[in-house]
Structure 1
Amino acid sequence: MTGAVTVQSVLNQFLVTESLDSHRRKVCSRLIDCRTARMGGMEMQCDQCKVRTVHYYGCRDRHCPQCQGRASQQWCERQRRSLLPVPYFHLVFTLPHTLNGWVQVHPDVVYRRLFESVWNTLRQFGFRTKHLQGELGMTAVLHTWGQNLSRHVHVHCLIPGGVLTEAGEWHRAKHQYLFPVRALSRRFRGRMVSSLRSSARAGELHRLTEPEAINSVLNDLMAKDWVVYARHCLNQAETVVDYLARYSHRVAISNGRLLAQEGEQIVFRYKDYRDGDRQKAQQLDGVEFVRRFLMHILPKGFMRIRHFGYLSNRTRRQKLSVIHQALQRPVESDVETLIHSGTSCAWPCTRCDDGMVYRVRQIPRCRTLGSLVTA
């Protein structure tokens, strides 16, 4: 095959639209149109060498591997204003694979209950742990995939190492692991199973039509250990931002992991965590690759990055100010960040290295080439 293999090229060749719902069809349409003439763009010219180039716009879809790099950078710049001068902890809560079938038919319900159960678990530990007894803050990111594109639902949580008490005091975490992992696992298991039972009774899981089967699955899950993983704390603010950027806007698979296309087979790189994190290559039929990729398209409007506790959007500014006062650290001004956050209308020329490239013409979107939305 000529040219580098990308998610866009694979979708172009192997996507079957007849079986897609309208939401997935629209997402795939945006990914296929991304940075092509169908999206429109602008023609640029250097003021020194006079070379003209055409740049097409990105689709900005959150599932697009071509667009998430810039989105992640912009998001992390905003998050810098919420960083605290304290160690941070990274926890991962994983949903058992037994529930993958439920995720297939009711993703919005299961994902929502997952976020609720994770925060309820950590919130209770924050208030009930003797040396803390206050409100935690948490940034949580939902991932639904494993390295081989299989369904592997888990939530990454980045948590500042301390709590804000009702009296406005800051109590720092004393342990390197924040909370005991085994205790977290048991509490998380109980909350998640209880939440799913409530959803079943409320009719939210209406596609699961056998009550006895639902109870059997949940009872079996209560008898198993659930996976909660805690990583070392991070001490530097810059490290925290870079660390968070790895997870905030990651998509199911990046173009950099695609190695080759051999006929109708797609070869991609993955990390085998069960074999010492060794890098390996896997080969999938193109149609199967697309099927696995589509499994990880989130429900329309579902927010996969959420903030809780004193980092929640509603009270973040006020509570962070209180925490900085308790830590006796001045709040950093974000005026400079706002000044430099504007979009530039000129860029250095990469051909001659002397001139500046300016936009000379706007290219409208080309709607005559067709779209998957109307397929």
Structure 2
Amino acid sequence: MTETATLQQALTRFLDPAGLDRQRQRVCHHLLACRTEAMGGTILQCTGCDHTQPHYFGCRDRHCPQCQGRAMAQWAERQQANILPVRYYHVVFTLPHSLNGWVQLHPEVIYRRLFQSAWQTLRTFGRDPKRLGGEMGMSAVLHTWGQNLSQHVHLHCLVPGGALGDDGIWREARSHYLFPVRALSRHFRGNLVSALREAATSGELHRVTRPGDVDDQLNTLMATEWVVYSKDCLEHTDTVVRYLARYTRQIAISNARILAVDDHQVTLCYKDYRDRDRRKQLVLAGEEFVRRFLLHVLPKGLMRVRHYGFLANRCRRRRLAEIRRALAVETTPEADTAANDAEPTYTCRHCGQPTLRVIETFIPLRPKRSRHPSHREQRYRA
């Protein structure tokens, strides 16, 4: 491996699969096997110097810090192709930390209600005749972590600044903050608390078993201010798209942020937003690092990226064409990702030329029955 320390090294040393649910065990198995002979691969030979070397396949797990680079680039290209010539807003809806326990007990319920409440909030404000009086659009990406791997659940939303009225006229938003932030926050709070109360009544929060806990928690939430961020991005919409793309296929930490792994602890770097975005180092016990990392494994099948309004998948092409006609601009063709699907080239480690060719393919190794990392350690190599 080229990195001095990796997530694979930390998991190999400190992961204890006992007590993990099936989804987390599955994710850890993928990450430990990624780019090793356990995933299979090819043998490459240089046509210039005859040097041969193995190339192991990636796991393609959405939680893996080594995979999904091409998928992220393709997602960003598709979003860029759908960008309208209007002001865009970056809106962030943050879930209060007091709900973190419920997130671990019922992630599917909480995340689904979070997405729905964020969209209903923007949709209600956009439909208001005193504001925009039309249909809005929103692309939202779920983000569950802070820089220190703590649980910090929030939605990053990219919102076109305007709404398409029923009369086919585009009504542009002119505020630097789209809508009043405090009003957004309180509407979002009321909508989500109401949704959670409804979920509890219908039995969806059945793992919250302490008597009176649901009412106490929801009453406390209604008495606190929630955090909603909103700011226009006039000159850097493409930068926000690339920022969101980083979280569409990956998880809490990249290998580049892991500075060292030894027998007892993991050292990582992080940006302290409360201290003028300064770069700092954080040392965690190995077991604590793994615990924090596993907090951010998503339930199987949960969609981390969702589109709403005129950006919804079922109507996006038609509605964007209508908006461009209303704005009197030409329709932009969808992004062509054929170049990204071309056969990849490989550089020879010996002569440094991109002249490697595949001469053999081998299938993945059949895993042993035991899931404990120590039983696989000898077979997993970079």
Equivalent residue, structure 2, for 1:150? 150
Matches within 5 A, 1:189-228: 189-210=189-210, 212-228=212-228
Equivalent residue, structure 2, for 1:361? 360
1:179 has 2:162 as partner: no
Equivalent residue, structure 1, for 2:132? 132
Q: Which runs of 5+ in 1 are unaligned?
A: none
What letter corresponds to residue 139 of structure 1 in structure 2?
A: S
Q: Secondary structure, in 3 states, of the residue corresponding to 2:307?
A: strand
Shift of 1:341: 3.6
Q: Secondary structure, in 3 states, of the residue corresponding to 2:20?
A: coil
1:27 has 2:22 as partner: no
What letter corresponds to residue 372 of structure 1 in structure 2?
A: R
Shift of 1:234: 3.3
The structure-2 alpha-carbon separation of the partners of 1:204 and 1:364, relative to structure 1 and needing over 3 Å to count, comes to same
CA distance in 1, matches of 2:370, 2:3: 23
The structure-2 alpha-carbon separation of the partners of 1:338 and 1:100, relative to structure 1 and needing over 3 Å to count, comes to closer
Equivalent residue, structure 1, for 2:72? 72
Equivalent residues of 2:82, 2:334 under 8 A apart: no
What letter corresponds to residue 192 of structure 2 in structure 1?
A: M
The structure-2 alpha-carbon separation of the partners of 1:273 and 1:85, relative to structure 1 and needing over 3 Å to count, comes to same
The structure-2 alpha-carbon separation of the partners of 1:295 and 1:160, relative to structure 1 and needing over 3 Å to count, comes to same
The structure-2 alpha-carbon separation of the partners of 1:17 and 1:240, relative to structure 1 and needing over 3 Å to count, comes to closer
Equivalent residue, structure 2, for 1:343? 342
1:104 has 2:123 as partner: no
Q: Secondary structure, in 3 states, of the residue corresponding to 1:143?
A: strand
What letter corresponds to residue 230 of structure 2 in structure 1?
A: A
Q: Secondary structure, in 3 states, of the residue corresponding to 1:163?
A: strand
CA distance in 1, matches of 2:132, 2:288: 49
Task: Give TM-score scaled by structure 2 length.
Answer: 0.91
Percent identity, aligned pairs only? Answer: 53
Matches within 5 A, 1:1-375: 4-128=4-128, 130-210=130-210, 212-235=212-235, 238-334=238-334, 337-344=336-343, 346-347=345-346, 349=348, 351-352=350-351, 356-367=355-366, 372=371
The structure-2 alpha-carbon separation of the partners of 1:348 and 1:285, relative to structure 1 and needing over 3 Å to count, comes to closer
**Which is worse superposed, 326-335 or 175-184?**
326-335
**Which is worse superposed, 234-243 or 214-223?**
234-243
**Which is worse superposed, 125-134 or 302-311?**
125-134
Equivalent residues of 2:140, 2:307 under 8 A apart: yes
Shift of 1:220: 1.0
Shift of 1:222: 0.5
Shift of 1:45: 2.0
What letter corresponds to residue 172 of structure 1 in structure 2?
A: E
CA-atom RMSD, angstroms?
2.2
Q: Secondary structure, in 3 states, of the residue corresponding to 1:367?
A: coil
What letter corresponds to residue 40 of structure 2 in structure 1?
A: G
**Which is worse superposed, 300-309 or 352-361?**
352-361
Equivalent residues of 1:88, 1:235 under 8 A apart: no
Shift of 1:68: 3.4
Alpha-carbon deviations, 1:269-302, whole Å to 9, x = none?
1122222222111111101110111111001111
Q: Secondary structure, in 3 states, of the residue corresponding to 2:261?
A: strand
Q: Which runs of 5+ in 2 are unaligned?
A: 376-382
CA distance in 1, matches of 2:131, 2:95: 29
Alpha-carbon deviations, 1:34-92, whole Å to 9, x = none?
00000001112222222222110100101101113332112212223222122211111
Alpha-carbon deviations, 1:215-274, whole Å to 9, x = none?
111111101100011233234564343333344334111111111124311111112222
Q: Secondary structure, in 3 states, of the residue corresponding to 2:341?
A: coil
Equivalent residues of 1:93, 1:118 under 8 A apart: yes
The structure-2 alpha-carbon separation of the partners of 1:368 and 1:114, relative to structure 1 and needing over 3 Å to count, comes to closer
Equivalent residues of 2:43, 2:52 under 8 A apart: yes
Equivalent residue, structure 1, for 2:378? none
Equivalent residues of 2:82, 2:332 under 8 A apart: no
Equivalent residues of 2:141, 2:244 under 8 A apart: no
Shift of 1:205: 0.2
**Which is worse superposed, 214-223 or 351-360?**
351-360
Q: Secondary structure, in 3 states, of the residue corresponding to 2:330?
A: coil
Q: Secondary structure, in 3 states, of the residue corresponding to 2:175?
A: coil
Equivalent residues of 1:84, 1:237 under 8 A apart: no
Equivalent residues of 1:92, 1:230 under 8 A apart: yes
Equivalent residues of 1:25, 1:373 under 8 A apart: no
Q: Secondary structure, in 3 states, of the residue corresponding to 2:152?
A: strand
Shift of 1:352: 3.8
Task: Give TM-score scaled by structure 1 length.
Answer: 0.93
CA distance in 1, matches of 2:186, 2:367: 56
Equivalent residues of 1:85, 1:237 under 8 A apart: no
What letter corresponds to residue 365 of structure 2 in structure 1?
A: C
